Structure 1
Amino acid sequence: MRVILKFIVVFLLVVFELPLNAQSLKKNEVVVISGEKFVVHQIETGETIFSLTQKFKVSREELEKYNPKLTEGPKIGDVIKIPYREDADVSAKSGQERGKPSGFLTHKVKSKNETAYFIARQYGISVEELYAHNPGVTTIKKGLKLQIPFWNEKAPVAETPKVPVAEKKEEVKIQPQPLPAGTLTHQVVSGETVYSIAKKYGVSEAEILALNPAAKNLKAGAKLSIPVTKKETAIVPVEKPKEEFSGKYFEHIIESGETLWGTARKYDVTENELKTLNPILNTDFPAGAVIRVPVKETEIEQTEARPLNEEAFDKHDVKKGETLYGVSKEFDVSIYELKKYNPVLEHRNLVEGETILIPHKTEEAAVTQPETESVSETVVSPEAALPDEKYFAVDATMEIPEFCKPQLREFSSETFDVALFLPLFLEANDTLNREEAIPDSMIFLADINGHSPNNQHLLEVMASQDTTIEVERKPMFKKFYRSSENFVQFYEGVLMALDHLQQTGLNVRLHVFDTEQRMDAVRKFIFTDEFLQTDLIIGPIYPEVQKEVAEIAAKNRIPLVSPLAAQSGLLSSNPYYYQVNPTRDYLTQQTADMVAEEYHNSNFIILKTQEYAGTPEGKMVDMLQEKFFNSGFMSERDGVNFTIYDFQREGAFGLRRIMSTTKENVIYIPSSDEGILSISISNLNNLASDYSMTLIGTHRYPSYQSIQIDHFHNLKLKYLAPYWTDYRSPKTIRFVSDFKTAFATEPDNFGFQGYDVTTYFVKALAELGRDFGECLPYFHVDLIQGNYHFDKYSKFGGYMNQGVSVISYTRNYEVKRERVKGQPRLVAEISE
């Protein structure tokens, strides 16, 4: 044993001494360690794990086995040992050295959203070079100063090997054009977009991009050439953007987790405009602070809703200091109703002087409504069901930027390449569903117990004739390997979508790759020229398999859709990454918003069953307290009573003491433990016949097998879900019928998701082009179970779906979708 331990210690010393003695070793020197040959190699600029495996003829597993730090990615200057192969290229010349930099620039990190990848991309260097010339830097933080190397034209420069960027087929690249006779110069300020600049000068985005190709990645401080129309003079001085605001504003209370960039984007203003009105934002963005957000006079006029039936509404001119909560209380309508019939209020608060619509109460509308009108089946409010959508219809159109309007063109001559990465586990399923079977013609050779005494003579004769008894392999379906059945359903949904799209004239060439759950299974596909011709990537499913594919996609401007994963670091750092499933934090935030809107006049109870501080469920409690406090109705007689009841210590007997007979009792249990939830909900259900209660949960609740469904109905469970399938919808009925005809089985959620994802993104690709990201907030497709509304997740990141459904269980044993949150109403939907 001691000998073994001694050997291990010596081996570790050899491994860890390599970097220290690297300077005394020759480049790519072959050494012998413990009887095995290794190449000692110092990582150079631009090298990746993949390039190392190709150069030295080894596998990724071998590299990581002898160099565990490589799992974090190769870093310039690190010395690694690589198993020696006779056919490997161990020449000292690498062709990857850029030489000594000519000098350095200083970059100060201005936002926590800046990543090493995007800083490197901004200056045209690699991430490895960024870290190599900033020793000691391990994380990128706001305020950090970085040294950025640069090489002038005279210095010997060899291009850093990068993933080859393919020319996209049929893509017309915009080349810099000479300035026309009439142009003016505009200097970009923080927060401006190509669209806002084009709108300011009355030109199209295409005209700006034609003169300024780099404007696709707009940066503050950049100077743009703006074409001047014939009516204008060509000699226009350089000017700064003028304030287009009339002095009107609304107030916004900063909540925990919000950022300056996110707030500016939410309200379509610039960061500088917010800082001008709120000097405190020049140094901080503190939660709880009340800030003023400017509003354009034209914006108020354009966003005021217009009723199609004047008798259905009263009009109210907003006074100074009024809030949604105050107006809701004054007119006895829900905040949801106010937002429904004044859609602009979904995205901002009230502005002094604007006119909003107040719907008449249900009883009044029922009296004046014609008897021939049918009653809508959809519950539009948790407090009062309005009698008819048509009676209360409003027109609130939203202006769509010119460059985001769908392109009307013929698709017959254009074919789109779509790559689909799914863990189908084809080989494992094939092995699992095949077994050895004896042919029927040979059954007589053995009896039921496997003995063959009666056939002994026949066996001897066959043996003497050198006869071989062959065993037939028959395909016998048993079951799917692991969870691959889900992904087969997803694949079938994709095929259904492509079939329907083809009927509309779209031509799509689908390339399917079986990723299993290993990056190695993907890597052999993504470094080919053919793959770089892809127009759209769907998958991979697992975040750990997505990383390299997403990097390739970003470098080649190929949109990559993550169809199922809800948590991925790529969302905040990759601008070509599209996440269909909202993050848990987003669902928590939207749930807290929904509760604050609908139950600000309730008896709200936190049923404490365990310590929840620091948990995701505890975050919900904090957000609810914050929102109720910001509403101004916390603990008022006509407001919300907020109680934290220690169910773990006091048990169920004290619940009656805190229940209300005059207000709705709204309960939230900060736990995700099924056992705890089952006991708690069972005890609440015992009180359901005496008190009106609403249980706030998550979309996981219906999957808990130990909780009786009737408890959810008795407690009027309500939660937010990323998806909702209305099986009564004619579109859903047709889809299910087509799916059963094609695949002899009914679709599950994965089948619906495959159809929705493919339909949505292929249509976006066809109608908006590959750079469809900024246009998705204005893009809507009628899907089966999704209500997609994609918007930018972070300043330098990708896009996330923000359309979620509010699901409610009723006491008459119905499950309904009350509404969709996060999705703007471009035009009011009117029932025919």
Structure 2
Amino acid sequence: MKKWLFIFWGIVGIMNCYFPQEKSGIIEKINGKEYYIHQVKKGESLYGISKLYGVEMEVILNENPSVKEKGLRVGYSIMIPVTHSKNTAKEAVMDTVNYKYHRVLKKQTVYSICKEYGISQEEFYRYNPDKKEGIKENDWVIVGKKDNTNKNEVVLKKSDVSIGDIKNSIAEKTNIFSELFRKKNEYNVLLLLPFGSDKAEELNVEDMIKYDYAFPYMSSMMIDFYTGMRYAIDSLKTDSFDVRLIPIDMRETDSLKMIQIMNVSEYRDADVIVGPVYSSLIKTEQHFSNIRKYHLIPFVSQNKFLFNHPEYSKTTPSIYVDVQALAHYVFDSLRKRTNVVLLYSNSNADKEYAREFRKYYNDLVYRDNSKDTVRTFRSISDFKKYVKDKHAYTVVLLTNNQVIATDYITQLSIINKNSPIYLCGFYKTTTFDNLDLEYLNQMNFVFSYYQNVAYSGFFGNYEKRYREEFQTDPSVFFYEGLQVGLYYFNLIKSYGT
């Protein structure tokens, strides 16, 4: 079985905002309304597209439900409403050299912002004359002047600095680079993960490892992830670069604790925040998010947390990536010796999975100039009518519904006695309590999963150190922490935050 690595799917590039995107020249009238038809290109983000067209991201998502559900993908054609604005004034550029800026949080008012920064409302409106009509969440406002003693600093102005100048400045690590990316010698990384400790604030994970031996599964996962990140830091550490990990135990029911932690300046002002891993806590944490930080979400596959938050990245691919991987595997390994069958239920989610599989598989067939087709069935009874004795079938079962999956697999195991079945599906199928796993073994069950990676040999020195420290082999969570650490901490080492 081929191994699939999808650890860094969907990472938002920190440089996107400095390179121009091209506005579509195609305008179509649909139901009496004009739309730009924009084809998504490699490197583009929803945030960048919304800025390019001057349309809120929420509006784009509402006009394109598939993007809202599955995320932005290269090659997609999306509809963007044409806005006829009378305001032709050039967009203001943030002068971060001379002025201090604040990003408006949810429910913040001009009064509360002025109080926070010790300025009068009269000063606020003098700095921000365009905000007299009101402020809204995610607006950037000036909250004071900077005391610049270095008169040689370069001021970034739209009129006299080109994109080429910015690129050169970044390459040469000039003052512009320092202002944009803020490099320093030590960075604080806050880990909001379910370590399984009763301690209210910062943990000493090394002590947990030293004195506790019988960890619950979740704790073992997080400790291995933490250890991988620690090893990554050790490999990147120099006299001028170091990372301090601040682990905080954050479980699913810790919403109040999350708010308390985010109100502590040391934690809130961390350079990187990793976690949390629960949906409700992610939403809470996003109220405190900062565009100038890295926010990493591990172990979460949903894309919805990335919308309206360009500062966020996730390290786990969505289920649609698994569907595409299955299509690729079936096309490469099984189609020439079996009949390919797609089996799913009538649920909306299953229909979407099936649609994605067919689309991706048919594209592979088209590029190969072959005539293979996928037969689709929405019930096991329909498939039974199609089956012929002694014929081999690859059955791609695309459902995460435990009842349906168990029923289908049980009946497929009976068919398998006379007609060989090669079963493919989701990893979650292997976790169903009432399913006889022997059925899966009999049908050579194959699933795509981002942790199905042959790590052995790639990280020899790290593996050796882990075995010496723990007297056992590292888990996939160690490798995930190691790779996330090596990738992101190397970015920070090179560019800052």
1:762-777 to 2 correspondence within 5 Å? 762-770=489-497
1:591-740 to 2 correspondence within 5 Å? 591-592=326-327, 595=330, 603-607=339-343, 611-614=345-348, 616-626=349-359, 638-640=371-373, 642-644=375-377, 646-647=379-380, 649=381, 654=385, 656-657=387-388, 661=391, 665-674=393-402, 676-678=404-406, 680-685=408-413, 688=416, 691=419, 693-704=421-432, 711-712=439-440, 714-726=442-454, 729-731=456-458, 734-740=461-467
Q: CA deviation at 1:419?
A: 1.8
Q: Give 1:559's aligned residue.
A: 294
* C-alpha spacing 1:213/1:574, structure 2 compared with 1 (3 Å): farther
RMSD of aligned alpha carbons: 5.3
Q: Give 1:414's aligned residue.
A: 185
1:583-594 to 2 correspondence within 5 Å? 583-592=318-327
Q: Give 1:540's aligned residue.
A: 276
Q: CA deviation at 1:564?
A: 1.3
Q: For the residues of structure 1 that align with 2:158 and 2:353, how far apart are their CA atoms?
A: 56
Q: Give 1:759's aligned residue.
A: 486
* C-alpha spacing 1:425/1:641, structure 2 compared with 1 (3 Å): closer
Q: Give 2:195's aligned residue.
A: 424
Q: For the residues of structure 1 that align with 2:411 and 2:489, how far apart are their CA atoms?
A: 49
Q: CA deviation at 1:724?
A: 2.5
Q: Please point out which of 59, 62, 66 is paired with 1:112.
A: 59
Q: Please point out which of 519, 523, 532 is paired with 2:259.
A: 523
Q: Give 2:233's aligned residue.
A: 498
Q: For the residues of structure 2 that align with 1:631 and 1:420, how far apart are their CA atoms?
A: 41
Q: Is the 8 A contact 1:560 1:577 kept in 2?
A: yes
Q: CA deviation at 1:574?
A: 0.6
Q: CA deviation at 1:641?
A: 5.2
The code of the aligned residue for 1:549 comes to E
Matched, 1:575 2:310: yes
Superposed CA deviations along residues 351-391 of structure 1, whole A, max 9, x for unmatched, are: xxxxxxxxxxxxxxxxxxxxxxxxxxxxxxxxxxxxxxxxx
* C-alpha spacing 1:495/1:112, structure 2 compared with 1 (3 Å): same
Q: Please point out which of 185, 190, 206 is paired with 2:168.
A: 206
Q: For the residues of structure 2 that align with 1:156 and 1:567, how far apart are their CA atoms?
A: 36
Q: Decide which structure has greater helix share.
A: 2
* C-alpha spacing 1:725/1:597, structure 2 compared with 1 (3 Å): closer
Q: CA deviation at 1:579?
A: 0.3
* C-alpha spacing 1:734/1:689, structure 2 compared with 1 (3 Å): farther
Q: For the residues of structure 2 that align with 1:725 and 1:540, how far apart are their CA atoms?
A: 24
TM-score by length of 1: 0.36
The code of the aligned residue for 1:715 comes to M
For residue 537 of structure 1, give the secondary structure of its aligned residue in structure 2: strand
Q: CA deviation at 1:585?
A: 3.5
Q: For the residues of structure 2 that align with 1:725 and 1:110, how far apart are their CA atoms?
A: 35
Q: Is the 8 A contact 2:190 2:248 kept in 1?
A: yes
Q: For the residues of structure 1 that align with 2:467 and 2:270, how far apart are their CA atoms?
A: 31
Q: CA deviation at 1:761?
A: 1.4
Superposed CA deviations along residues 676-718 of structure 1, whole A, max 9, x for unmatched, are: 5345435444555765543221122444466566654553433
Q: CA deviation at 1:521?
A: 1.7
* C-alpha spacing 1:695/1:534, structure 2 compared with 1 (3 Å): same
Q: CA deviation at 1:558?
A: 0.5
Aligned length: 368
The code of the aligned residue for 1:535 comes to D
For residue 375 of structure 2, give the secondary structure of its aligned residue in structure 1: strand
Q: For the residues of structure 2 that align with 1:577 and 1:162, how far apart are their CA atoms?
A: 22
Q: Please point out which of 270, 276, 285 is paired with 1:549.
A: 285
Q: Is the 8 A contact 1:550 1:577 kept in 2?
A: no
1:227-238 to 2 correspondence within 5 Å? none
Q: Is the 8 A contact 1:419 1:538 kept in 2?
A: yes
Give the unaligned 5+ runs of structure 2: 1-53, 63-91, 95-101, 111-126, 147-151, 201-210
Q: For the residues of structure 2 that align with 1:591 and 1:643, how far apart are their CA atoms?
A: 15
Structure with larger Rg: 1
For residue 523 of structure 1, give the secondary structure of its aligned residue in structure 2: helix
Q: For the residues of structure 1 that align with 2:428 and 2:191, how far apart are their CA atoms?
A: 28
* C-alpha spacing 1:540/1:637, structure 2 compared with 1 (3 Å): closer
Q: Is the 8 A contact 1:612 1:671 kept in 2?
A: no
1:273-312 to 2 correspondence within 5 Å? none
State the percentage of identical aligned residues: 15
For residue 290 of structure 2, give the secondary structure of its aligned residue in structure 1: helix
* C-alpha spacing 1:685/1:622, structure 2 compared with 1 (3 Å): same
Superposed CA deviations along residues 299-354 of structure 1, whole A, max 9, x for unmatched, are: xxxxxxxxxxxxxxxxxxxxxxxxxxxxxxxxxxxxxxxxxxxxxxxxxxxxxxxx
Q: CA deviation at 1:583?
A: 1.8
Q: CA deviation at 1:420?
A: 1.6
Q: Give 1:374's aligned residue.
A: none
Q: Is the 8 A contact 1:600 1:628 kept in 2?
A: no
Matched, 1:749 2:458: no
* C-alpha spacing 1:717/1:651, structure 2 compared with 1 (3 Å): closer
For residue 426 of structure 1, give the secondary structure of its aligned residue in structure 2: coil
For residue 530 of structure 1, give the secondary structure of its aligned residue in structure 2: helix
Q: Give 1:176's aligned residue.
A: 156
Q: CA deviation at 1:559?
A: 0.5
Superposed CA deviations along residues 792-823 of structure 1, whole A, max 9, x for unmatched, are: xxxxxxxxxxxxxxxxxxxxxxxxxxxxxxxx
Q: CA deviation at 1:628?
A: 5.8
Q: For the residues of structure 2 that align with 1:667 and 1:730, how far apart are their CA atoms?
A: 34
Superposed CA deviations along residues 109-146 of structure 1, whole A, max 9, x for unmatched, are: 5873479xxxxx999985768999xxxxxxxxxxxxxx
Q: For the residues of structure 2 that align with 1:749 and 1:526, how far apart are their CA atoms?
A: 30
* C-alpha spacing 1:622/1:506, structure 2 compared with 1 (3 Å): same
Give the unaligned 5+ runs of structure 1: 1-106, 116-120, 133-149, 186-193, 218-402, 404-410, 430-475, 771-832
Q: Is the 8 A contact 2:190 2:247 kept in 1?
A: yes
Q: CA deviation at 1:487?
A: 2.4
The code of the aligned residue for 1:717 comes to F
Q: CA deviation at 1:594?
A: 5.3
Q: Is the 8 A contact 1:600 1:640 kept in 2?
A: no
